[in-house]
Amino acid sequence: MTQPSNKDPFLLLKEKKSAGEIISSLTAYDYPTGRLLDEAGIDFILVGDSLGMVFAGLEDTTGVTIEHMIYHTQVVARGVKNALLGADLPYHSYRTPDEALENAQRLMEAGADAVKLEGGTSQIDKVCHLTQHGIPMIGHIGMLPQRVREEGGYKKKGRTQDDAERLLRSAKDLQQAGVGAIVLESVVPEVAAEITRSLKIPTIGIGAGSDCDGQIRVIHDLLGAYPWFRPPFATVYADFAGDLEKAAHSYIKEIQ
Ligand code: KIV
């Protein structure tokens, strides 16, 4: 079993929050992407279970297994030297605290510096169990993609006073349980800003407005590499799909 290190893997992220500097974060699922993002100076690289959709072509993330996550964490870890490397516990891999611990340890052995699971107050027993066993943890609240089927779609969170209070409570519970950072996904911007102000640990937003301590995006959205679906909040900086198609046509022409 990998021994927990004494060094706080979230130190840079916390320092950036204190200094008011934005934390940069992107997902990666393969070695070249992990290495290139690391060399580009991204602070936090996440092997997200979004790989089920943008890498594997599944309808949502619920088909991703712990074995998929271990494999992708291993290949990305080979290329990442400086960034914090996070990995997701996939759907149904943390049904009990002991199952969560066993699978989190497997992700750490695969090369992750920290592990993320979805959910706030309702998952606190698992988060506490993991942090007490020395697993550096990242929280994830707001829209939870692993619950998309139960919820009947991807919906913005924090629209009502009750929901906003529930999210703030969850964020504080996660902080208390020892997570080093929290992802806020599809949260009303004013609510995300309030959560960010209320916490000592950094928040990393996606579809949650600009007043979070950092921003995370799915790498395929940034690169234009998954043209069949583009979330409205994602700025596209490249045309990977178009360039790939052009390169394929040029190659077909060349070898005729
Ligand atoms: O799976 C993922 O890529 C994520 C990010 C979108 C935060 O959880």
Q: What's residue 5's pLDDT?
A: 62
Question: pLDDT, tens digit, for every residue of 105-115?
Answer: 999 999 999 99
Ligand 1 pocket by C-beta < 6 Å: which residues?
27, 46, 48-50, 88, 183, 185, 206, 216, 218
Q: Indicate if 194 belongs to the active site.
A: no
4 to 9, 14, 130, 133, 137: CA distances (angstroms): 11, 19, 11, 8, 12
Can you tell me the distance from the alpha carbon of 124 to that of 104, in angstroms, rounded to the nearest whole number? 15
What are the residue boundaries of the structural domains of the chain, listed by start? 11-217
Question: pLDDT, tens digit, for every residue of 175-225?
Answer: 999 999 999 999 999 999 999 999 999 999 999 999 999 999 999 999 999
Q: What's residue 152's pLDDT?
A: 86
Helices vs. strands in the chain: H and E counts, helices first? 11, 8
Q: What's residue 34's pLDDT?
A: 98
Of 53, 54, 206, 226, best ligand 1 pocket probe by most atoms within 8 Å of the beta carbon: 206
28 to 37, 79, 113: CA distances (angstroms): 8, 10, 14
Predicted structure pTM score: 0.96
Count of C-beta atoms within a 10 Å radius of residue 181: 30
SS3 215: strand
Q: What's residue 62's pLDDT?
A: 96
Residue labelled with tokens 């100076």: 41
Given the residues 39, 185, 190, 194, the one annotated as active site: 185
Indicate the residue type of 131: T
- Which CATH architecture describes the domain 11-217? Alpha-Beta Barrel (3.20)
